[in-house]
Structures are given as structure tokens and as C-alpha cells.
Amino acid sequence: MIERIADQILSLQGWPALLIIFILPALEASVFFGFLFPGEIAVILGGVLASENRVSLWEAIVAAVLGAIIGDAVGYFVGRRFGRRILERTVGRFIKLERTKKAEEFLRERGGPAIFFGRFTAALRVLIPGLAGMSGMRYLTFSLYNIAGGIIWGAGFVLVGYFAAASWRQVHRFAGLASLVGLAVLLIGIVVFRWVRARRRARATGAQPFQPTAARASSPPRSAIFALLAILCGAIFVSLLVYVLAHPDGSGLDADVMDWTLAHRNDFLTPSMKLITWLGSSFVLVPMVLVASHDFWVRRSNWGPAASLVASWAGSILLYSSLKNLIGRPRPPISVMLVKASGPAFPAGHATVAMAVFGALAFFLTRDSSRRVRASIWATFCLLILLIGASRVYLGVHWLTDVLGAYAVGAAWLLLVLVAGALRPREEVSQPR
């Protein structure tokens, strides 16, 4: 059945293809029976069609994102108006509705992150919008998380299909497995979180830890959220790797981007890019890691962030070095290089370490900050990471996919480090300053 649908989609082009890319994700989340609509496959195949120039890449991304956002919004209002009646006549015959009421209560009080991360898990993607509407969650809260999740999910899976191209079946199987693993990690994390929190409450009150009055989890455990994002980054990296192995000489998209870059070099950008690329080197990042680690460990008496910063830096270097030697992709021709570079190209080292280190710094520096300060710091570091990656392409030492792969693997490693940090007991992380 799936193969037949996929063949039908791959036979389309132009606006009929864009309509399918939009409508299947919309239908998947707009009703409780969304399991019947293969929205994820449609979005991945939209990227495949874009790689074959049957539709524009940006049009496919916009169609997928709008389908995800609008579908979830419809699901929210359907759940709000008809959700309870639908549940009573369908799944309510097989499960106790008290369980759905608990889910509604959780979504109403702490369900924002569930809206976002539910987008990346097939089972939750179908159910959560309707349950959010049934719970009475404010639409403004729902829409903020819905828009964020829809943008990342839609754009991410279109790009996965674009870079995977003919290997989309393997990528889809990997994405399905990652979805199931992510759901399992989330459920296990919630159970562990509830158990640990109940133990702490019991230790503080002297009660038995597993009485019915034990504390309920107030939000998804941070470790499960980071693990889900790490899985997504891993899927993106695998799709990029498939593309790189099919185009080791930089043909296709990489060649087009490099030609455009060479045509837009000028006397102002060249020295600026040389300065920016230096910010991603060990000469800058090592002192930065040491100073920040000293500040957390010595001045704030908090060794957790210090250890995570060092692990982010050292692990990212070891990871990209190993992957480079294993994959062995050649760099662009020496004739286009403005600075010296040697060794394999994929993934880009500067971009990998910049993603891991600057991401870790942004995370730990903003934990106790106001919303405005957090937004400013994250925007600054994200812009810096993007500029460092762009400088590597501008200077001719890396292809575009080298940098994109570096972002994916650097983010995945950073998230795994944060998972390890989130699993530490809270008492070890929150020492008095």
C-alpha cells in the first residue's frame, strides 16, 4: 500500500505534487484517524521531487510546513468541538476515558513541549492536537509550539528527502525506527522521572515513595526531549551522508552553491570571512571553554556545566576527525581555496566544534536568565555558528553539504552531552553559588 502511494506521488510534478505535500500532512494531524494518511512519506517524497527538479525546494518546504501547521490547528479545533464525542464512539470503547482526562490535564497545564515534540513521533502526531483542543489549552500557547514544531519538522524532512533522493526508502525506514525509539525514550524517561521525583518527595516527607499520592511528572523529562532532538539530527546527518556518498566530487547542489559563491566574492567579504572563520578555530574555542569552565566550576561551585563544556568540545573534535577519516570525501579544488586546508572534507571541523561549543555555552549561560536575555544570547550564538559555516564555503575549503553535515553531527553530540547532564541528580547540578 505504501509503495503504491509512493509511486503515485513520485509520478507527479508542479502544483499537483505540492498539493499532495501539503494535504497529506494536514490530514494526518487534523482528525483522530490520521493514521490512514502517510504525511511523513509525502514530505520526504516532496524532497525527492525537489531533487529531481519537479518542484522547487522552497515550494516543497513551504507546502510541508503549512500542511503540518494548518493540520494541527484543524486537529485542535476538531478536538475542542467534537473530540470527546469522537473518542467516546471510537477508542473510548476500548480504554477508560479517565486516562484521556489525565492526558488532557497534563496538556492543559504543562503540554507546550508535548505539542512540539509530538510532531516528531507518528503516534503522538495524530493524537496530540485533538487532545490539546479537548483539554482547553489556550490556542496562543498551542499555536506557538505548533508553528515551531511544524517549521522544523516540515523543513527537516523535506531536506532529508532532498539529500537522500533515490535512497529515500532507507531513510524513511530509519526515520520510522527513530520515531519509535524516540517514543520509547520519552515514555521510559517519564517513568524514570516520576520514580526519581517520588523518591525525593518521599525522602523529604518520610512517606513511602510509591504511595498513590506520589508526585506526578509536571513536564516531559529534559533528557527525553534532548534524546528526541538528537535522533532527528542523526536522521538528517544520515540523509546528508547518503547524498555525499553519491556526489563525492561536489557535483549537484554543492557545485551550484560553490559557483554562486565564487561569483559573489569581493574585497570586503573576503577579509571578513577570514576573520569569522578564525572564530571557529581552536585558538579561540579552547580559551573560551577554559574560561567558561573555570567560571562555572570555581566561581559558581557548579562542576556540571564545566564538565559538559569540555565534553562538548573534546567529543566534537574526536567525532568529526573519526568521521572525516572514515568517509574520506575530497575537498574542493585548490584553485578555489582562499586559505590553506588539507585532509578530508566531510563533515566540516570548524562548523562541528562551533555548533557543539557555542550551543553548550548558550544553553548554560541562559538557564537563569530572563526571556529577553535568553533570546538575545541564543540569537547571537546561532548567527555566529551560521557565519562560521558560511565562511568555510566562501573561502572554498568546504562544500555546502560538509557544513550542513557538521551542523547535524555537532548538534547531535551536544544534545547527547546535555542528555547525560540532565540525567544527573538535581542536587549535583544546582549547587549554591
CATH number of domain containing 334:
1.20.144
Cell of 385: 555558528
> 245 in a domain, yes or no?
no
- Nearest Cα to Cα of residue 119 among 128, 108, 111: 128
Owning domain of residue 313: 251-429
> 368 in a domain, yes or no?
yes
CA distance 85 to 135: 14
pTM beyond 0.85, yes or no: no
For residue 227, CA distances in Å to 158, 223, 296, 328, 415 come to: 21, 6, 25, 28, 7
For residue 225, CA distances in Å to 121, 187, 397, 418 come to: 12, 11, 35, 10
Q: What is the DSSP string of 137-173?
A: --HHHHHHHHHHHHHHHHHHHHHHHHHHGGGHHHHHH
CA distance 403 to 413: 15
Write out the H or E segment, with its range, that includes residue 239. Answer: helix 222-246
Residues with Cβ within 8 Å of residue 67, at least 6 apart in sequence: 21, 22, 23, 24, 25, 26, 39, 43, 154
Residue ending a domain, choose from 205, 226, 260: 205
For residues 268 and 195, membership in a common domain is answered with no
What residue type is 227 in one-letter code? A
Position 28 scores a pLDDT of 80
For residue 172, CA distances in Å to 146, 167, 326, 401, 407 come to: 23, 9, 24, 20, 21
CA distance 294 to 305: 10
Strands (E), 10-166: none
> 214 in a domain, yes or no?
no
Position 398 scores a pLDDT of 93
For residues 136 and 17, membership in a common domain is answered with yes
CA distance 14 to 49: 9
> 222 in a domain, yes or no?
no
For residue 211, with 0-12 CB atoms within 10 Å meaning exposed, 13-18 middle and 19 or more buried, which class applies?
exposed
For residues 194 and 271, membership in a common domain is answered with no
CA distance 74 to 90: 19
Residue ending a domain, choose from 205, 221, 236: 205
For residues 262 and 186, membership in a common domain is answered with no
Position 117 scores a pLDDT of 74
Count CB neighbours of 427 within 10 A. 8
For residues 38 and 171, membership in a common domain is answered with yes
> 235 in a domain, yes or no?
no
The list of the chain residues with pLDDT below 70 reads 1-3, 31-37, 83-111, 122-124, 165-222, 298-302, 421-433
CA distance 124 to 168: 23
For residues 125 and 193, membership in a common domain is answered with yes
Looking at every residue in the chain, the average pLDDT score rounds to 78
Say if residues 51 and 165 touch (Cβ distance below 8 Å). yes
For residues 80 and 138, membership in a common domain is answered with yes
Position 385 scores a pLDDT of 93
For residue 285, CA distances in Å to 293, 343, 419 come to: 12, 21, 22
Sign, Cα dihedral of 318, 323, 326, 328: negative
CA distance 277 to 281: 7
For residues 96 and 186, membership in a common domain is answered with yes
CA distance 100 to 421: 32
Phi, psi torsion values for 210, nearest 5 degrees: -120, 30
For residues 193 and 255, membership in a common domain is answered with no
The position carrying cell 517519564 is: 190
Say if residues 352 and 314 touch (Cβ distance below 8 Å). no
For residues 80 and 175, membership in a common domain is answered with yes
> 210 in a domain, yes or no?
no
How many structural domains comprise the chain?
2
Distance of CA 33 to the CA centre of its chain: 26
For residue 195, CA distances in Å to 201, 221, 254 come to: 10, 12, 49
CA distance 261 to 258: 5
> 20 in a domain, yes or no?
yes
Position 300 scores a pLDDT of 66
Return the SS3 of 395. coil
For residues 176 and 312, membership in a common domain is answered with no
Residue ending a domain, choose from 143, 170, 205: 205
Q: Give the helix ranges, DSSP H, for 247-302.
A: 253-263, 269-278, 282-294
pLDDT tens per residue, range 52-90: 888 888 899 999 999 989 988 888 888 888 766 666 655
pLDDT tens per residue, range 295-331: 777 666 667 788 888 888 888 888 888 888 888 889 9
What residue type is 260 in one-letter code? W
Cell of 278: 578564525
> 201 in a domain, yes or no?
yes
Helix axes 139-164, 168-205, angle to 10 degrees: 140
For residues 317 and 386, membership in a common domain is answered with yes
